[in-house]
Amino acid sequence: MEMIELTVVNQNESIVEQKEVQIDQEQEQKLNIIEDMCKVLGRRWTVLILSNLHTKNTVRFNELKRSLTGISSAVLSNRLLEMDREGLISKKIYPEIPLKVEYRLTERARELGVILKI
């Protein structure tokens, strides 16, 4: 069991209540997953990438890059890697020359889209 500080805020981001609560290991793991997800979603471009993927079944890297004016290939590659690690997207690599890679949202990301209203 671990003690964590819980802060409740209203829509104006004013603190309504602060208290310490005790959580077990399973709850702590869930909180860590949520915290990691928030870190990924808070990075620049991530929500725009999710939004773009939400409108199509599959998208190739260059198609996605063209739709996101101003993003560099390195940043797009990093965001896609982070989102893949968090289980938000899946990547399918076709053994062709030139290499063909397609990205799609996972069910987890589609559920998140409902929350984010993408």
Q: Which residue has the higher pLDDT, 115 or 73?
A: 73
What confidence tier does 118 reach under pLDDT thresholds 50, 70, 90? low
User: What span, in angstroms and rounded, lies between the C-alpha atoms of 104 and 113?
Assistant: 13
Question: Per residue, what are the HEC states of 33-61?
Answer: HHHHHHHHHCCCCHHHHHHHHHCCCCEEH
User: What span, in angstroms and rounded, lies between the C-alpha atoms of 21 and 5?
Assistant: 6
Range list for CATH 1.10.10.10 in the chain: 44-118
What confidence tier does 1 reach under pLDDT thresholds 50, 70, 90? low
The domain 44-118 is placed in CATH, from the list 1.10.150.120, 1.10.10.10, 3.30.930.10, 2.130.10.10, at 1.10.10.10
Which one-letter amino acid corresponds to residue 49?
I
